[in-house]
Amino acid sequence: MTDNIPLQPVRQKKRMDSKHRSGCCECMRCCGRRDPRPRTVWLGHPEKRDQRYPRNVINNQKYNFFTFLPGVLFNQFKYFFNLYFLLLACSQFVPEMRLGALYTYWVPLGFVLAVTIIREAVEEIRCYTRDKEVNSQIYSKLTARGTVKVKSSSIQVGDLIIVEKNQRVPADMIFLRTSEKNGSCFLRTDQLDGETDWKLRLPVACTQRLPTASDLLQIRSYVYAEEPNIDIHNFVGTFTREDSDPPVNESLSIENTLWASTVIASGTVVGVVLYTGRELRSVMNTSNPRSKIGLFDLEVNCLTKILFGALVVVSLVMVALQHFAGRWYLQIIRFLLLFSNIIPISLRVNLDMGKIVYSWMIRRDSKIPGTVVRSSTIPEQLGRISYLLTDKTGTLTQNEMVFKRLHLGTVAYGLDSMDEVQSHIFSIYTQSQDPPALKGPTLATKVRKTMSSRVHEAVKAIALCHNVTPVYESNGVTDQAEAERHYEDSCRVYQASSPDEVALVQWTESVGLTLVGRDQSSMQLRTPGGQILNFTILQIFPFTYESKRMGIIVRDESTGEITFYMKGADVVMAGIVQYNDWLEEECGNMAREGLRVLVVAKKSLTEEQYQDFEARYVQAKLSVHDRSLKVATVIESLEMEMELLCLTGVEDQLQMDVRPTLETLRNAGIKVWMLTGDKLETATCTAKNAHLVTRTQDIHIFRLVTNRGEAHLELNAFRRKHDCALVISGDSLEVCLKYYEYEFMELACQCPAVICCRCAPTQKAQIVRLLQERTGKLTCAVGDGGNDVSMIQEADCGVGVEGKEGKQASLAADFSITQFKHLGRLLMVHGRNSYKRSAALSQFVIHRSLCISTMQAVFSSVFYFASVPLYQGFLIIGYSTIYTMFPVFSLVLDKDVKSEVAMLYPELYKDLLKGRPLSYKTFLIWVLISIYQGSIIMYGALLLFESEFVHIVAISFTSLILTELLMVALTIQTWHWLMIVAELLSLSCYIASLVFLHEFIDVYFIATLSFLWKVTVITLVSCLPLYVLKYLRRRFSPPSYSKLTS
């Protein structure tokens, strides 16, 4: 985010970057591609290349036409259980192992594979369509024959490409010319770095001066550029024109670049293509996030492994009871096939379809509009979050800045006294126009003048030291050109890369000094009297996370004075300004009020001083090696003994309903950690405002530590505190994690809240990773900016807030919300329901399979351990599909309490953190129920049948279907009309299909009264005890939610 000021890189950063790069390099080596090298690109001559470059094709597909089927099948069968079912199905081609019709094994497997292949195919087709659309976009290319149209995929390194306003930049280019009068253009970069504010870009001065664009082909010139890399915020290169006398050399930086995936926001531009295809900055930054597998899925996998163990044991016991007679090894395989139902093949399909339903419910919830589910594989994770890690600016706060305070050391102006500032500014500009004779030399006017001039200097510095550009748009009455000519207030909007800067410039406008115009080399301010002040911009030093400051050198056109203005964070500015005794104290005071503080300073330069600086600066900018270091050294030579003008305080207001949401999360047993790049005091103040720290809790501010000894002492001091929120800076955190990782995490995890300030993006991800490793609990990360992406991707559950800083976080997240307050409902209602429903669904599918396997075991035991299937053909397929699928799947609509109750009593969520809905205990209970019911049905059928084997099949299968339908009814807590439809539909399907099942069931026998009473008795004996037990349990030991629903 724009306020996040990272510290020096943390240990992980280098590792992560090298991982990206080594990944790229390994890929290139294995594909026979050489390592990327610096390049020389001749303007308009792609044939003059010194190496081979990749085609400019965007390809986001996982497979191509030939690899699709093998790739999808490999990804399915690399999992043990899918491979197990494939081997089962293949074994049926061996006559000695065949147990029934081939389709009984191949149809279920084919169905599961078909669902997966169709899903993958749809995703691939969507991907292909999106890629084709991007690759087929038409652009204009400058050639010797004039302008020709080319597809994006046909663009080569060295081509001169014309990009119109609102058109996507097709490749990484150097900006050569613009149609804008001010000689610059704006870029929208939200698809590249997540920031919605426009960026200013400057063309190469030499090519901008050419009369027409076609002259670019008449000159001999080239660009020397660094090798392709992933850094979107920096670029090193030089532009050389050989046919001029003397040859022209210009340094190129990030300001001269147009990266692919950005959009031109103003004018028409011409650029020369530098990088294409896989060497594009945007492509190199697209790392595949780790594939998240939910804890719930891992638990279900664990249960299926137990079931596999049970399958092997039962098969061995059956063969052992035969005393390993004859070809016993074949018998083992036959029994493994016979009891293969123990592991339900439909479990994975049911759970995947359930996840799709939960995702649909989240999207359709009118209480949380605009919520998007980007990862439909982990909705159950939302129901078991123990730690929530949140960003501050734009997530807890609105990222809407309001100017609150101007501090001059001896006097401070708040919102209520801004009219005084206005009168000071007014008096300066009206007095300067009065005749000198009218100015009386009294002491009072001298004092007043001194204060007025101090205020004026501060306001002027704020109005000049920024990267804001006023843009004029037509408002229906005035057109754009006229508005620009007359500086029409109603048509003006400010564009900048930081909302803080816009707030400062809007404030100077409100007190009388208005920024009305700006281009590459000049700036215009309007005084309260309507006079236009012209300033020439000599140099500008943009804000970076490393420098934490920005500066500008301007010349006042009316007086010729050259002034160097600078503003930045107090940490760095304290060492740059002249000694004073109030800066540190007042910065602390303002930060404690929750204001974001900037220190503003100036330095007057003589013409000689400036000329000397410019010569050294230009020389440093032309160097190709260690350019940034040399440039920084030259700038630092100016940054000494600057005159401190003022402090500014800007407030970022809290988002709506942040306090009740955080209280809900706290009551649900979720610990909230705030990770921000902001100042310690501001972060602490926001934490108090948002009630992240309650009024009764103490706050322990972890002292700044730099070595092992200091960290040891501070940790011991912190250990003595109880129920105390921790505030720690990124520097101290780095030292603690280096020497005392285990001890620090142990203490931090006991805190009710933790606030980490001055946090770098990689540190945020590191904290998430440590929490997962140390606690084993589930984490959820919430953020809104590009700097939150690493934290969001590292967490078990990433939630992106669509905010002022663009969509990068929201696109990288598993779930995307529009406001922080929606998080409460997402976790308390949808997370809780998804987890409880999936737990019930998975255990019921396992119960369904264990029932029929128990019946098979009893049947084989009674008939001398014969490996003969009890049910054959369609019966075995129909059982787990049309006869029971709909009622069992309807459990995804079940809920124990209404959503309003779940929101009102977040304590219900706390129960889920222990993982009780799906545990070894509940699994064992369902296994015992399955064994009881399977045994009762089979023994009942064997006891009550009279003559033919077909009658056993009819009685037992009908009882089994009815038992399953009754068990679904027993499990349901809140009936939905679709559940009733599913029950009746399944029963109807079974009764209707009996007519066609004469091969397996005696149709005349099922019409007799004897059949009906036998089935009724068996079903009642298998289900009635469970209904009685459920009633007694609810009567004498009710679950917590039942007290709220009664």
d(Cα 751, Cα 702) in Å, to the nearest integer? 13
Contact 255, 537 (CB under 8 A): no
d(Cα 422, Cα 428) in Å, to the nearest integer? 10
Contact 85, 77 (CB under 8 A): no
Longest dimension (CA), the chain: 131
3-state secondary structure of 392: coil
Pair type for strands 172-178 and 199-201: unpaired
Q: Which two tokens stand for residue 973?
A: 């807590």
Neighbouring residues of 977: CB distance < 8 A, sequence distance ≥ 6: none
**Angle at which helices 708-719 and 741-750 pack, to 10 degrees?**
30
d(Cα 774, Cα 311) in Å, to the nearest integer? 36
Q: Where are the beta strands (DSSP E) in 432-588?
A: 469-472, 492-495, 514-518, 522-526, 532-541, 549-556, 562-568
Q: What is the 3-state secondary structure (H, E, C) of 823-845?
A: HHHHHHHHHHHHHHHHHHHHHHH
Helix (H) or strand (E) holding 1033: helix 1009-1036
Q: Please, what is the Cα angle at 701 between 698 and 703, to 5 degrees?
A: 150
d(Cα 857, Cα 860) in Å, to the nearest integer? 5
3-state secondary structure of 177: strand
Pair type for strands 562-568 and 815-817: unpaired
Nearest to 21 by CA among 32, 6, 35: 35
Active site residues: 391
DSSP labels, 190-243: HHHHS--S-EEE---HHHHTSSSGGGGGTS-EEEEEPPP-S-TT---EEEEESS
Contact 665, 827 (CB under 8 A): yes
DSSP labels, 572-628: HHTTTBPP-SSHHHHHHHHHHTTEEEEEEEEEEE-HHHHHHHHHHHHHHHH-SSSHH
d(Cα 869, Cα 852) in Å, to the nearest integer? 11
Nearest to 743 by CA among 701, 780, 781, 708: 708
d(Cα 191, Cα 285) in Å, to the nearest integer? 12
d(Cα 474, Cα 484) in Å, to the nearest integer? 9
d(Cα 721, Cα 431) in Å, to the nearest integer? 60
3-state secondary structure of 487: coil
3-state secondary structure of 999: coil
d(Cα 80, Cα 745) in Å, to the nearest integer? 36
Q: Which two tokens stand for residue 782?
A: 């919430």
Nearest to 382 by CA among 826, 821, 907, 791: 826
Pair type for strands 595-605 and 562-568: antiparallel
In this structure, the chain runs to a length of 1046
Q: Which amino acid is at 500?
A: D
3-state secondary structure of 569: coil
